[in-house]
Structure 1
Amino acid sequence: MTDALPRCPWCGDDPAYVAYHDNEWGVPEHDDTRLFEMLILEGAQAGLSWRTILQRREGYREAFAGFDPERIARFGEAEVQALLNNPGIVRHAGKIRATIGNAQAWLALVDREGAFVPWIWQFVDGTPQINRFAHLHEVPASTEASRAMSRALKRLGFKFVGETICYAFMQATGMVNDHLLGCHRHPQYNAERL
Structure 2
Amino acid sequence: MTSSEFGAIIGPVVGDDGLARPPWAASDPLLREYYDTEWGMPVRDERGMFERVCLEGFQVGLSWRLILQKRDALREAFRGFDPDELVCMESVEHLLGDASLIRNRRKLEAVLTNARATVALRGEGTHLGEFVWSYQPDTTPAPRTMDEVPTRSRESEQLARDLKARGFTFVGPVTMYALMESTGIVDTHLVGSWRRGCSGVWGAEA
Q: 1: distance between equivalents of 2:204 and 2:88?
A: 47
Q: 1: distance between equivalents of 2:184 and 2:174?
A: 15
Higher helix share: 1
1:137 partner letter: D
Match of 2:105 among 93, 96, 111: 93
Match of 1:109 among 90, 114, 121: 121
The answer to whether the 8 Å contact 2:79/2:85 transfers is yes
> Structure 1 residues 69, 180: closer, same or farther in 2, change over 3 A?
same
| Structure 2 spans left out of the alignment, 5+ residues | 1-14
1:111 partner letter: G
Which residue of structure 1 lines up, in the alignment, with residue 36 of structure 2? 22
1:180 partner letter: L
The reply to whether residue 36 of structure 1 matches residue 50 of structure 2 is yes
Q: 1: distance between equivalents of 2:16 and 2:89?
A: 44
1:58 partner letter: D
Length-normalised TM-score, structure 1: 0.90
Q: 1: distance between equivalents of 2:204 and 2:26?
A: 24
Q: 1: distance between equivalents of 2:110 and 2:147?
A: 31
Which residue of structure 2 lines up, in the alignment, with residue 62 of structure 1? 76
1:2, CA displacement in angstroms? Answer: 4.6
- Say which SS state the counterpart of residue 152 (structure 1) adopts: helix
Which residue of structure 1 lines up, in the alignment, with residue 133 of structure 2? 121
Superposed structure 1 runs of 4+ greater than 6 Å apart: none
Q: Which stretch shows the higher mean deviation, 33-42 or 5-14?
A: 5-14
1:118, CA displacement in angstroms? Answer: 2.2
1:17, CA displacement in angstroms? Answer: 0.8
Length-normalised TM-score, structure 2: 0.85
Q: In percent, how many aligned pairs have the same letter?
A: 39
Aligned residues: 187
1:107, CA displacement in angstroms? Answer: 0.3
1:103, CA displacement in angstroms? Answer: 0.3
1:102, CA displacement in angstroms? Answer: 0.4
Which residue of structure 2 lines up, in the alignment, with residue 177 of structure 1? 187
2:122 partner letter: V
1:158, CA displacement in angstroms? Answer: 0.4
The answer to whether the 8 Å contact 1:113/1:119 transfers is no
2:79 partner letter: A
- Say which SS state the counterpart of residue 98 (structure 2) adopts: coil
